[in-house]
Chains A and B, each alone.
Chain A
Amino acid sequence: MNINTTKVISLLFFIFSAFYLYTAYQIQVFAFDENAPFNARTFPIYLGYAGLFFSGLKLILPDPNTIKVQHKTLEYKKTAILIVIAIIYGATILKVGYFLTTSLFLFSSYYFLGERRWVLMFLLSFPFVAAFMYLLHGVLDIYLRDPFLQSIGVMG
């Protein structure tokens, strides 16, 4: 059986809206606000119902513009690798520091995307990040915490 992915997304959105609506009803409001014409939960409740309405319509109505994605031609592997690299970047940036993590993030991204010109890859990562960091830290006065550079005495 061929499952229409747009319908699956609509179903997921329907479930999400139901969860959102349930959570909206759980919002704690002040006692004196409970019966007010408008309180902190009013708008989210309307949104929850709107989400259910539109996704419900999408689910039941015929879909004349079915989108067919050619999954075979999509580069899932490289995209997933890039996402993983970005997550690792997020996990290490506070501990290691901006310079090293960002440079490695760029260098590894170039590599996994198929680049093999090592000199260019190096120039567009380490010196590039150093120059960008100088622009942020030195010129625009945006403080960038960097334990790695502090440990080797480059940054105060």
Chain B
Amino acid sequence: MIEGILIGLTTALTLQNILMVMLGCFFGTIIGMLPGLGPMTAIALMIPITYGFDPATGLILMAGVYYGAVFGGSTSSILLNAPGVPGTVATSFDGYPMAQQGKAGKALAIAAWSSFAGGTLSAIYLLFMAPSLSKVSLSFRSPDYFALMILGLTAIAAFSSKGQFLKAMMMVVLGLMLASVGQDSLSDITRFTFNNMNLTDGISFVLVVMATFAMSEALTIILKRNDPTSAAKQVSLTELGSIKINKEERTKMYKTIPRSSVIGFLIGVLPGAGATIASFLAYGMERNIVNDEEKEKFGKGSVNGLSAPETANNAACSGSFVPMLTLGIPGSGTTAVMLGALLGFGVQPGPRLYMTNPEIFWSIIMSMYIGMVILLILNLPLIPYIARILAVPKNYLIPLILFFSITGIYVMSFNNFDIYLMIGIAVVATFMRLYDFPMPPLILAFVLGGLMEENLRRSLLLSNGSWEFLWDRTLTACILLTTILIVIWHIYKTMFKNNKA
């Protein structure tokens, strides 16, 4: 492991890669700060740029963007009560009341330190957990992978949208359907191309991500600009107050941070869970743990209430890298985007990544830590200035997002068919978003579609067409049993809710 850490440090500490982490954190913070634009949009916008770099550098840039976007999301939660990302919704519960009391600077500083501590601790957990899990996952066979992908897709559907399991499953199927367009990987037979040559190679991953996130988010912002429920009440962006944290507040944070980082990391590792669930759980847990006097302050500007979700959402970000790096199966929509980008580089994540591309594996882990340090150095003193970006008028912001999305696709293919296809998918995605059809399951399914078909093919061929492979191996059966339990739990929950209603 020491050797690996040194390889990672050597790669991550090159001038170019440090610069990439810095740029990533900076742009991520800015994009994540803008309400409606989350880490997936931020990373999607970066993908065309990363193709000019080697895989390690590209991934380091994206990891920086990811952390920056999550941190940026908390800034808009605190200042505008408009979370930039779902993972920072819980941050606004106590962050915004604190800002309303004239302590916006302090709230931002608590968020920054908690994010830093949560990210740092979880990077350490990742350091120890990822290599061991990589070794274990080497024993995985095609049926296990197939079952794991079913579990991942079911879990993301179960957790992505409250009470919308069937909608999320429909999006999973739609993502898999989109992934099936183009040539079959083994026989080269074209499928669902309708004799259109532009579809022979399938639909580009970047196109789907840009359309369902960047472009459709921009269209949704325009569509809802007069919606009174989405209008944000503003805290003064010029007078944020002091960013100093006193001794009493520090003592509270010392207790909250370690427990929230553990819960955040563990939730992040689970497929489909992630920063949103982690932050809510950490908030709830913290509320139950603290004394009655402190409990009263929750929702009114509690330090514990702000520190817990901020620590947990950053810890969950690192945790979500575990299944992606060790199993090649992303645990969240954001890591699915990163997995797609890695595949674009020709790098196959999974247990062998640890051995075949140790520089990528370790440099990502090391760059996470460097990213945390840079986020703190960059963001803490610059908070009052960065916060002013929130005042950028949407009349300029939206066309620029559309411009970056379309240009990102155009420079990859120089083909206007891709632009039309992107507009078409974006319009459908915008409409579906209005009715709460979640997009992350679609992206995860689109990324996993090819791998899933490949593993199902291998499993069915090895078992001579019999579906017994699903319960032949204990591991496969256990994974599928977990999937079934998730589905049953959701059906039970929905029925219970209906009966109550």
Chain B residue numbers with a CB within 8 Å of A44 are 177, 180, 191-192
B219 and A113 form a contact (CB under 8 A): no
- Chain B nearest CB from A155 CB (Å) reads 15
Q: Is B435 a contact of A5 with CB atoms below 8 Å?
A: yes
Closest beta carbon of chain A to B420's beta carbon, Å: 5
Answer whether A83 and B52 are a contact pair too, CB < 8 Å, given A54-B169, A61-B166.
no
Which of B399, B437, B460 has its CB near the most chain A CB atoms (within 10 A)? B399
Given contacts A65-B164, A113-B394, contact A47 B173 (CB under 8 A): yes
Residues of B within 8 A of A (CB-CB), count: 65
The CA-CA distance from A87 to B226 in the complex, in Å, is 25
A105 close to B (CB within 8 Å): yes
Contact with A along B152-177 (1 / 0, CB 8 A): 00000000001110110110011011
Chain B residue nearest to A95 in the complex (CB)? B416
Q: Chain B's nearest CB lies how many Å from the CB of A147?
A: 13
Set of chain B residues within 8 Å of A151, measured between Cβ atoms: none
Q: Which residues of B contact A29 (CB under 8 A)?
A: 187, 189
Main SS at interface, chain A: helix
Tally of chain A residues near chain B (CB < 8 A): 69
**Does A37 make an interface contact (CB < 8 A)?**
yes
**A50 to B445 Cα, complex, angstroms:** 13
**Of B10-18, B265-273, B493-501, which stretch is located at the interface?**
B493-501
By a CB distance below 8 angstroms, the chain A residues around B468 are none
Q: B403, A37: Cβ atoms under 8 Å? A: no
Q: Which residue of A lies closest to B459 (CB)?
A: A38
On A, residues with C-beta under 8 Å from B are: 5-6, 9-10, 13, 17, 20, 23-24, 27-30, 33, 36-44, 47, 50-51, 54-55, 57-58, 61-62, 64-65, 67, 69-70, 73-76, 78-79, 82-83, 86-87, 89-91, 93-94, 98, 102, 105-106, 109-110, 113-115, 120, 124, 132, 136, 140, 142, 144-145
Chain B residues proximal to chain A, CB less than 8 Å = 52, 162-164, 166-167, 169-170, 173-174, 176-177, 180, 184, 186-187, 189, 191-192, 219, 222-228, 393-396, 398-400, 402-403, 406-407, 410-411, 414, 416, 419-420, 423, 427, 430, 432, 434-437, 452-453, 456-457, 460-461, 463-465, 494, 497-498, 501
Could you write out 27 A-B pairs with CB less than 8 Å apart?
A13-B170, A27-B191, A38-B456, A47-B177, A47-B180, A51-B177, A58-B170, A65-B162, A67-B434, A67-B436, A69-B434, A73-B224, A73-B228, A75-B222, A75-B225, A76-B223, A78-B222, A79-B219, A82-B222, A86-B419, A90-B406, A90-B419, A106-B400, A106-B403, A109-B399, A124-B396, A140-B52
